[in-house]
Structure 1
Amino acid sequence: MPSFDIVSQIDLPEVDNAIANMTREMSQRYDFKNSTSRVELKGEEILLNADDDLKLKQMHELLQGHLARRKIDTGVIDYQTPEKAAGQAVRQKALIRQGIGRDLAKKIVKDIKDGKFKVQVTVQGDELRVTGKKRDDLQTVIQHLKGLSLEQPLQYVNFRD
C-alpha cells in the first residue's frame, strides 16, 4: 500500500550557519557598535542577549532574515517571553521546534478524518504515517495539508508506492 510520512525537521547546521552570519553582520552594523548584544546557539535553543528592547527587535528581524536566506521556515522559532537583565538589558530564549507534538498531531489527524479521505493515519513518535490504497488519495491529502495554516512547517517524506 502506498504511504508517506509527515515530519517537521530542521537542519541544525544550517541554523548554526545563519547565526554565525547574523553575528558577523551585527559586528559590522553601526547600530550595534559598542553594544554587548550577542546571540548563541545551544543545542535546539537560541539565546538572544540585547542592550534594550529595540536591539532585541532588530535581532529578531536579523535572525528571521538569515534563516530565510538559508531556506529555513521562520515558523520553527518559538520565542519565549523576554526577561529583564541588569539595567535595560534584555534576555530571551528562542526554541527551535522539531518533531510534531501531541497536540499538533491530534489536530492533523482530526483534520484528515474530517476531510473524509480514504486514508489511515497513525502516529509514530514525533511523526505521522499516512497510508492509502491509491497514490492519488495520498497526494490529495498532501495538498489539503499544505492549504492549512499551521504554526509549524511540515515536510512530506518517504513517499512509497
Structure 2
Amino acid sequence: MTTPDPQASLVAALDKLPPFGGVSFRGFEQPPNIPITSVAAALVPTTQNPLVATENGRVRAIAAFLHRTGRDLSIFSAAPTEQEVVIRPGTAWQQLLMVDVPGLTVPVLVLEELDLQNTPPGPVTWGETKADVAEMVRAVVGAGLRQPPVTLANPGKFVGPSPMQAVQPSTDG
C-alpha cells in the first residue's frame, strides 16, 4: 500500500474551493528576486493584509500577487485575521510593474498570474490598465500600513525567500 502524498492531497482539497481573483501580498527581508516569468514551486502562503505581509512594518519589501486561481483559506484558518490566500504549485506568474508606496523603502513588485486555462478576463478589482493596477496597489498597501499593528499568529509565515522558479524557455522546435 502506498502512502498518499500529503501535498498532493492538500492541493486536491484546495481545488474544490472557489478561485480567489483578488490581490494578496508576501513580505521579503530583501527586495524580492523573482524571475520575470516564474512558476510557484510549492504551496505559497500569502495574505490579503499588507500589514501582516510586512509584519507590522518590520519588513519593507513586499510583492503583490494578482490572482486568478488562488484559494482564500481565511474561513478555515485558526487565525482568520491572517486573511490567508494560498498560491497553488505550478501556477505561472509574470512581473507586471513596480509601484512606489509611501512608507516602503522598496517599490512593491506586482506579479500577475498567467492565464494558462483561458479563464475569463482578470477581475475588475485589479483595474483595467497598469495605471489602475498601480493605483489599486498603492491604495491597498497604503491603507494597510496606516492601520494599528496586528497580532501575528504565525510570525514568518508570510515572509521569506522567493518561492518562485524561473520558467525555462522550451527547446522544442
Q: Which structure has the higher relative contact order (CA within 8 Å, separation 6+)?
A: 1
Whose radius of gyration is greater, 1 or 2? 1
TM-score scaled to structure 1, two decimals? 0.23
More helix by share: 1
